[in-house]
Chains A and B, each alone.
Chain A
């Protein structure tokens, strides 16, 4: 019996569950005395450190006291963490109902690097979720006014908005959910943008739609699939008949496998630049209404980000609100739709995180995007640390990586009544990988060679090492 075959045993599961995996979700995290300490302005009294919670109310006064203190720590922190800004940093943002966003007459602040659109008059336009986010952090002060502030004609009346007022402006639950996911990612430093309606203005991995290419792609694709199915079925008829093993002689196990694996067709997702563009061309024509639109483009935290030419995002996010009766978790048909619509840094295409590669493969409206190349020594730390070390990886390691990581992927943000979690869903392709063990013919000859390896135990004899 292998050691892992006792999964129902909780002791074992606890051992193997990595700590960080659970810590981020377990309730242990909600110790507000910790928050009180983090929160500089907080005047909450620090309470005795006691990480562990109790099993159940035991009726003692001490427990009552501990509960009372825990609540005090929480409410003190909340009460002592006011929203707003000091007068010198004050930035007023005015809600605009027609735009359903806010306008800042004279914008300043770091947030401009990743949020808002500055027009020719120098006004900064915030999308509604950006407005709520910045107001909630106290970065901008939310206001309502009876006319656009720049006019200054007649009586100009501005009324400060409370958080309750701001939230009352959400037009639907879906918009509110979108905001919660946005804020969740923003708080962790990610750069998050909504997708622009005008495709021609945004960076894309794809060239402009080419109708000729589309037809050619379609014909090729279907012909190839048809031919493959037909040849396979002819060979299958024989293999699975009772004659096969009477008449044929297999001199190795791989030969048998090669015949076996023809039975079940599998989908091969696009894995190369060519395949991706071919598929895009073939399928663009019949896109129906999206049940799962991409909500956000997301970039990892970085200082180099430019709003004007952001390049391709690192991730794309789709939102699923699980308690909304009108929604379902995506089926494969839905997943397929989502995969088709993805347009981001397809990380599997480039082995190293190669700046050049992505610059050369980013287009805006069918033309190269002309993303400024980073100057020498200006690359982010995260990039430089990743470079190198990825070359010359053993074949079976590469294969394991392909199987584990898959190809195109997106993030599904799930909302469970305000609790947000993420799932990464990637296309996988086990049908294109063979992992069978190749038995060696004369084990006696190999004994000496294998001895050292065996002495380490019975696990981990790699297929590749025994060929």
Chain B
């Protein structure tokens, strides 16, 4: 597979701000100094600003719509999510491939097709199971004995095993594609419309405006859009501060931080990014004095544990008074605000006594 190599090239920068190449500085060579200074002034870490559209009122959505900018944010740190793709924004390529009727088109990811195939197989499998249940009930209704039932069950078990084994061998042959007609799918030229936008989580947008100058919106303007400034008080700003502090903490230590909602937590931590590693850690952010009923923790932990990931409870602790923090906020001194919270972490893991005896 060439993909490995092209991925490491495609995703070689972990952040959308790229380092500059400065020439080597040789202490004994004044010429190299001059050249260095020239390069320093000429070069820059800045990038072309990414344009965001912010929609919604009470609930805000932050969207990037320009295709090259969507790809740029994905490639340089895996920011945002394609609204029609749940991950990398590939809807346009996928759909184009579908329309072309070319299942093996190289632009669509085969993974998604495989997933679909799997689902189809699964539903066939389920149908069999239903049929078997029916057989069993019939046997019982007809006054079958325990022994007869045991025989039937054994037969069914064998059948299912064979069926499972037969599946997966004839992959990618299932074909029935249902199509749909919607005028909005195509633009006036008759080409497929770019319907998909890349959505940034609010914390991502803050990171890309407050911490790194990437978006074409200032942090102050962004916050004014995200928060209710008419009723500004600690309680209106705190929930977002809490989320951002945690997000920034992990981002700044090199993790690729993505939404954890599908695992019922706040964030997923990837080393490098989704194409390289599975997420190993799930982060749930809490106040340092927050607690819930045990079932709250146990359900998150079971979802996370079921996916073989480690659950981290990240407790955000306030180091300054609420009043001080609101004042800093009103001065737009976000740096001081975010520095006024400390993160404290614990690993939360189910412990099974039987597995810890030696």
Q: Determine whether B7 belongs to the interface, using a CB cutoff of 8 Å to chain A.
A: yes
Select from chain A the residue with minimum beta-carbon distance to B118.
Answer: A11
Q: How far is the CB of A212 from chain B (nearest CB, A)?
A: 29
B283-329 residues with Cβ-Cβ distance < 8 A to A are 286-298, 301, 303, 305-308, 310, 312-313, 315, 317, 319
Q: Which residues of A lie under 8 Å from residue B79 when comparing CB positions?
A: none
Given contacts A4-B307, A403-B281, contact A335 B262 (CB under 8 A): no
Given contacts A48-B150, A245-B213, A423-B348, contact A263 B248 (CB under 8 A): yes
Q: Determine whether B117 belongs to the interface, using a CB cutoff of 8 Å to chain A.
A: no
- Are B291 and A261 in contact (CB-based, < 8 A)? no
Select which of B150, B251, B345 is within 8 A of A50 by beta carbon. B150
Tell me the bound Cα distance from A115 to B205 in angstroms.
60
B240-280 residues with Cβ-Cβ distance < 8 A to A are 245, 248-255, 262-263, 271-272, 274-280
Tell me the bound Cα distance from A425 to B137 in angstroms.
47
The proximity string for A residues 394-428 relative to B, scoring 1 for CB distances below 8 Å and 0 otherwise, is 00000010011110010100101000011111111
- Are B354 and A24 in contact (CB-based, < 8 A)? yes
- Are A332 and B254 in contact (CB-based, < 8 A)? no
Q: Determine whether B164 belongs to the interface, using a CB cutoff of 8 Å to chain A.
A: no
Range class of the B interface residue count = 35 or more
Tell me the bound Cα distance from A27 to B143 in angstroms.
28
Select from chain A the residue with minimum beta-carbon distance to B85.
Answer: A1
Q: How far is the CB of A278 from chain B (nearest CB, A)?
A: 18
Q: Which residues of A lie under 8 Å from residue B336 when comparing CB positions?
A: 233
Q: Determine whether B358 belongs to the interface, using a CB cutoff of 8 Å to chain A.
A: yes
Select which of B19, B279, B312 is within 8 A of A250 by beta carbon. B19
Q: Which residues of A lie under 8 Å from residue B334 when comparing CB positions?
A: 240
B16-72 residues with Cβ-Cβ distance < 8 A to A are 17-22, 40, 43-46
- Are B339 and A263 in contact (CB-based, < 8 A)? yes
Q: Which residues of B lie under 8 Å from residue A11 when comparing CB positions?
A: 118-119, 122
Q: Which residues of A lie under 8 Å from residue B341 when comparing CB positions?
A: 264-265
- Are B278 and A2 in contact (CB-based, < 8 A)? yes
Q: Determine whether B109 belongs to the interface, using a CB cutoff of 8 Å to chain A.
A: yes
Q: Determine whether B127 belongs to the interface, using a CB cutoff of 8 Å to chain A.
A: no
- Are A458 and B3 in contact (CB-based, < 8 A)? yes
- Are B19 and A256 in contact (CB-based, < 8 A)? yes
- Are B46 and A5 in contact (CB-based, < 8 A)? no
- Are B297 and A421 in contact (CB-based, < 8 A)? no
Q: Which residues of B lie under 8 Å from residue A266 when comparing CB positions?
A: 249, 342-345
Tell me the bound Cα distance from A2 to B149 in angstroms.
44
- Are A261 and B253 in contact (CB-based, < 8 A)? yes
Q: Determine whether B144 belongs to the interface, using a CB cutoff of 8 Å to chain A.
A: yes
Q: How far is the CB of B262 from chain A (nearest CB, A)?
A: 4
Q: Determine whether A168 belongs to the interface, using a CB cutoff of 8 Å to chain B.
A: no
Which of A3, A11, A62, A333: most chain B CB closer than 10 A?
A62
Q: Determine whether B12 belongs to the interface, using a CB cutoff of 8 Å to chain A.
A: yes
- Are A430 and B1 in contact (CB-based, < 8 A)? no
Q: How far is the CB of B332 from chain A (nearest CB, A)?
A: 11
Select the stretch in B86-94, B180-188, B191-199, B227-235 that faces chain A: B86-94
Which of A4, A63, A414, A443: most chain B CB closer than 10 A?
A4
Tell me the bound Cα distance from A175 to B122 in angstroms.
50
Q: Determine whether A272 belongs to the interface, using a CB cutoff of 8 Å to chain B.
A: no
- Are B253 and A436 in contact (CB-based, < 8 A)? yes
Q: How far is the CB of B70 from chain A (nearest CB, A)?
A: 15
Q: Which residues of A lie under 8 Å from residue B145 when comparing CB positions?
A: 62
Q: Determine whether B356 belongs to the interface, using a CB cutoff of 8 Å to chain A.
A: yes
Select from chain B the residue with minimum beta-carbon distance to A335.
Answer: B346
Select from chain B the residue with minimum beta-carbon distance to A65.
Answer: B146
- Are A332 and B286 in contact (CB-based, < 8 A)? yes
Q: How far is the CB of B245 from chain A (nearest CB, A)?
A: 5
Tell me the bound Cα distance from A431 to B251 in angstroms.
11
Q: Which residues of B lie under 8 Å from residue A246 when comparing CB positions?
A: 44, 46
- Are A329 and B5 in contact (CB-based, < 8 A)? no
Subset of 24 A-B contacts with CB under 8 Å: A5-B262, A16-B306, A17-B306, A18-B308, A20-B352, A21-B352, A48-B149, A58-B140, A62-B149, A66-B146, A188-B354, A236-B339, A239-B335, A245-B44, A261-B252, A263-B248, A322-B295, A329-B293, A330-B291, A406-B346, A422-B351, A430-B312, A460-B276, A461-B276
Instruction: For the complex of A and B, list the 9 residue pairs with the smallest distance between their C-beta atoms, beginning with the closest.
Output: A436-B254, A454-B4, A382-B358, A332-B315, A261-B252, A260-B252, A60-B140, A428-B345, A422-B351
14 further interface pairs, Cβ-Cβ under 8 Å (given A430-B253, A430-B345): A2-B278, A17-B305, A48-B147, A185-B353, A233-B339, A245-B17, A245-B212, A261-B253, A423-B348, A435-B254, A437-B272, A450-B8, A459-B275, A461-B272
Q: Which residues of B contact A (CB under 8 A)?
A: 1-5, 7-9, 12-15, 17-22, 40, 43-46, 85-88, 90, 109, 111-112, 115, 118-119, 122, 133, 137, 140-141, 143-147, 149-150, 153, 210-213, 245, 248-255, 262-263, 271-272, 274-281, 286-298, 301, 303, 305-308, 310, 312-313, 315, 317, 319, 334-336, 338-339, 341-358
